[in-house]
């Protein structure tokens, strides 16, 4: 590729002037700040509504099932809500009963706790203060004490004692007393009532709410928006139901294990384990702490506590690393970083309840980002899908000059794809991005050389790779096609064309063809007369810059035809949108993928020599 002029180099190195933020960007920032402020200030209002919406996703499939049983809309909603409320009240009753029984037994465990604490005092922990004290005394003896400096003292006089001050709160009025007692008691019931009322109206007006959301986000494309809304609702309902079922199963497993170990109130700790597992990462640790401490208080030794700890150490990894991936699939849709950040954010915003709702709420935002164009940034920031496509990731690694990470990414893709498919779908597209940037003069010659070096290193590293899905094209059978140089792969005049030609040559060698790679300078007007054409059975011309090469390609094919009139010429324009035909270049074949080029070479090798000469 020709070197750039000094003018273009100076232009590329110039620093663009800072831009003033647009009005739309400032408006979006203000709207986001306003939403956060509203969520924080109005959490007493938004929290019950959010709980009702999430419960609606869980109960909606059951409502649909009741409606399929020919029950009316209102009857189905009332039955589903009453059943859900009954389950919640039953769980609350069981928790209260278990707590009451545990409170009666706690005094009996005090003696065991005292014995263990006294044993700890007599052990290493008890001797630790004495050891620290003796070390301090040794240090004091080793250091030389300085005599206190004389200071001016005031003459002794009568001491002035401060006057004691006492603050007394006024006696509460009967109304204040009733308010202080009833408000903390009635507040949970009021919140529950608000959640139930909102839940009922959401379930009754689901279709109307869906239509309003469609009108709000995408009335211009009703089909796409409707499909997106239905898909989002189905995904969220499925996720919440699966998570609820898995956490309930985990709670049953913990309760059964604690019952077998002999820990008191196993049902209580099983329910706590199921509920706290909605808290990401630390929920199971918090749930394990209480039964472990209780087991240590019940058992005079440490066997029961160690068995309880082992139960959680086995149950949580099995559930998190084996069961959940099998049930959810490859992923839940959230990145681990997003889960941690969302837990911190929602806890700051809404307190402990926000911590419980962090994962469901973040998943809702990710689903909205995948289907609403204006909210796509949420999917990019919080979702687990790669931010860059494989081709973009390869181009970024080539720009950075990192062949090792490029090879690591290639090996991950090649576990499921063939080498030819990887070259066509990832490597060539990455080289196309580089060629497009080079055409826009945004790449320096140094960067182009770096990209070419990484591409060549990648091809060399993949030389011994064994395909998991080998292509079905036949291999070369004629001995002449197996000789060195039988297929001449000619690179274009760009640095990146050589890398593409090396990929094609590697794929052809894997089929048993003899291949030679020729640089673009070797087929120029002044050098093509010296080109060694002995034993050449086919010529493959490799080009990436399809937008600026038709005339150059036509002249090159003409020179090749004049130099080797009986040899078929294949032109490979490695561009997905290339619509050029072989006739426009005067070539025998024109392809846009490496797989097609290999297949055409195999077809040419399988044709009898007489038929090829007759076709000429």
Fill in the DSSP letter of residue 323: I
Q: How many angstroms separate the CA atoms of 520 and 357, rounded?
A: 62
- When pLDDT is cut at 50, 70 and 90, the band that residue 24 belongs to is low
pLDDT at 195: 87
| Res 254 pLDDT > 90 | yes
Query: Higher pLDDT residue, 479 or 329?
Result: 479
Query: The tokens of 483 are what?
Result: 């000789």
Query: The tokens of 420 are what?
Result: 């030819």
CA dihedral 418, 421, 426, 432 (to 10 degrees): 150
| Res 168 pLDDT > 90 | no
Q: Which residues contact 34 (CB under 8 A, 6 or more apart)?
A: none
CB-CB contact of 356 with 243 (8 Å)? no
pLDDT at 257: 92
Percent of residues, the chain, with pLDDT higher than 90: 6
| Res 508 pLDDT > 80 | yes
CB-CB contact of 585 with 557 (8 Å)? yes
| Res 515 pLDDT > 80 | yes
Query: Does CATH number 3.40.50.280 belong to domain 471-616?
Result: yes
Q: Which residues contact 298 (CB under 8 A, 6 or more apart)?
A: 109, 112, 262, 263, 264, 304
Select, from the ranges 120-129, 363-372, 533-542, the one with the highest average predicted confidence (pLDDT): 533-542
pTM of the model: 0.62
- The angle, 0 to 180 degrees and rounded to 10, between the axes of the packed helices 303-318 and 222-261 is 160
pLDDT at 10: 39
3-class secondary structure per residue, 406-422: HHHHHHHHCCCCCHHHH
- When pLDDT is cut at 50, 70 and 90, the band that residue 252 belongs to is very high
| Res 605 pLDDT > 50 | yes
Q: Regarding beta strands 487-491 and 515-518, do their DSSP bridges make them parallel or antiparallel, or are they unpaired?
A: parallel
Percent of residues, the chain, with pLDDT higher than 70: 76
Instruction: Provide the CA 255 distance to its chain's centre, in angstroms.
Output: 33
The average pLDDT across 315-334 equals 76
Q: What is the DSSP string of 269-310?
A: HHHHHHHHTTSTTTHHHHHHHHHHHHHHHHSSSSHHHHHHHH
Query: The tokens of 82 are what?
Result: 């009453």
pLDDT at 310: 92
Return the domain boundaries, the chain: 24-108, 235-381, 388-459, 471-616
pLDDT at 46: 87
CB-CB contact of 339 with 358 (8 Å)? yes
SS3 state of residue 589: strand
Q: Regarding beta strands 569-573 and 515-518, do their DSSP bridges make them parallel or antiparallel, or are they unpaired?
A: unpaired
pLDDT at 149: 53
The average pLDDT across 343-365 equals 83
Q: How many angstroms separate the CA atoms of 42 and 414, rounded?
A: 51
Rg (CA), the chain: 37
pLDDT at 334: 76
pLDDT at 400: 87
Calculate the alpha carbon distances from 53 to 76, 94, 119, 208 in Å. 17, 26, 53, 15
pLDDT digits (tens, 9 = 90+) for 37-74: 888 888 888 888 888 888 888 888 888 888 888 888 88
Q: How many angstroms separate the CA atoms of 337 and 281, rounded?
A: 12
- When pLDDT is cut at 50, 70 and 90, the band that residue 7 belongs to is very low
Average model confidence (pLDDT) across the chain:
78
pLDDT at 259: 92
CB-CB contact of 585 with 539 (8 Å)? no
Q: How many CA atoms lie within 13 A of 328 on its CB side?
A: 19
The average pLDDT across 199-207 equals 86
Q: How many angstroms separate the CA atoms of 32 and 381, rounded?
A: 15
Q: Which residues contact 168 (CB under 8 A, 6 or more apart)?
A: none
pLDDT at 8: 41
Q: How many angstroms separate the CA atoms of 507 and 389, rounded?
A: 24
CB-CB contact of 280 with 207 (8 Å)? no
Q: How many angstroms separate the CA atoms of 488 and 597, rounded?
A: 13
CB-CB contact of 86 with 259 (8 Å)? no
The average pLDDT across 350-360 equals 81
- When pLDDT is cut at 50, 70 and 90, the band that residue 178 belongs to is low
């Amino acid at each position: 590729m020709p070197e750039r002029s000094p003018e273009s180099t100076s232009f590329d190195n110039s620093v663009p002037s800072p831009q003033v933020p647009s009005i739309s960007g400032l408006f979006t920032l203000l709207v986001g700040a306003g939403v956060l402020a509203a969520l924080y200030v109005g959490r007493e209002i938004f929290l019950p509504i959010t709980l009702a919406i999430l419960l609606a996703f869980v109960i909606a499939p059951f409502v649909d099932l009741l409606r399929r049983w020919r029950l009316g809309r209102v009857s189905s909603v009332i039955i589903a809500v009453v059943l859900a409320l009954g389950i919640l009240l039953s769980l609350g009753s069981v928790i209260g009963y278990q707590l009451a029984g545990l409170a009666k037994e706690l005094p009996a465990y005090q003696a065991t706790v005292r014995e263990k604490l006294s044993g700890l005092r007599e052990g290493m922990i008890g001797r630790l203060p004495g050891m620290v004290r003796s070390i301090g005394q040794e240090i004091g003896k080793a250091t030389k004490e300085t005599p206190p400096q004389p200071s001016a003292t005031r003459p002794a006089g009568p001491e002035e004692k401060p006057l004691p001050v006492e603050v007394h709160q006024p006696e509460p009025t009967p109304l204040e007393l009733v308010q202080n007692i009833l408000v903390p008691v009635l507040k949970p019931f009021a919140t529950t009532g608000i959640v139930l009322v909102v839940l009922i109206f959401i379930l009754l007006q689901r279709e109307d709410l869906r239509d309003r959301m469609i009108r709000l986000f995408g009335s211009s494309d009703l089909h796409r928006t409707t499909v997106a809304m239905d898909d989002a609702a189905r995904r969220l309902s499925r996720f919440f139901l699966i998570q609820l079922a898995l956490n309930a199963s985990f709670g049953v497993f913990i309760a059964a294990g604690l019952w077998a170990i002999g820990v008191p109130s196993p049902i209580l700790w099983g329910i706590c384990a199921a509920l706290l597992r909605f808290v990401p990462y630390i929920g199971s640790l918090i749930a394990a702490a209480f039964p472990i401490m209780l087991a240590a208080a019940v058992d005079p030794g440490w066997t029961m506590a160690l068995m309880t700890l082992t139960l959680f150490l086995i149950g949580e990894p099995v559930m998190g690393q084996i069961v959940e991936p099998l049930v959810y699939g490859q992923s839940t849709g959230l990145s681990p970083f997003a889960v941690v950040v969302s837990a911190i954010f929602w806890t700051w915003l809404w307190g402990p309840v926000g911590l419980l709702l962090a994962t469901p709420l973040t998943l809702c935002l990710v689903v909205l980002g995948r289907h609403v164009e204006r909210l796509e940034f949420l999917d990019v920031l919080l979702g687990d899908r790669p931010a860059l496509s494989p081709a973009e990731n390869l181009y970024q690694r080539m720009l950075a000059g990192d062949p090792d990470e490029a090879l690591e990414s290639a090996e991950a893709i090649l576990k499921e794809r063939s080498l030819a498919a990887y070259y066509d779908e990832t490597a060539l597209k990455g080289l196309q991005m580089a060629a497009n940037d080079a055409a826009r003069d945004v790449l320096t010659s140094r960067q182009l050389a770096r990209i070419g070096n990484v591409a060549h290193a990648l091809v060399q590293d993949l030389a011994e790779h064994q395909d998991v899905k080998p292509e079905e094209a036949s291999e070369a059978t004629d001995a002449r096609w197996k000789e060195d140089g039988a297929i001449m792969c000619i690179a274009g005049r760009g640095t990146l064309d050589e890398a593409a030609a090396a990929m094609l040559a590697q794929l052809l060698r894997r089929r048993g063809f003899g291949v030679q790679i020729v640089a673009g300078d070797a087929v120029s007007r002044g050098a093509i007369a010296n080109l060694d054409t002995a034993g050449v059975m086919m010529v493959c011309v490799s080009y990436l810059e399809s937008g600026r090469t038709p005339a150059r390609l036509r002249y090159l094919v003409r020179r090749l035809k004049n130099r080797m009139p009986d040899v078929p010429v294949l032109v490979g324009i490695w561009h997905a949108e290339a619509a050029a035909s072989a006739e426009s270049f005067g070539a025998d074949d024109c392809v846009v993928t490496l797989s097609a080029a290999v297949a055409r070479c195999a077809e040419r090798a399988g044709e009898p020599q007489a038929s090829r000469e007759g076709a000429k």
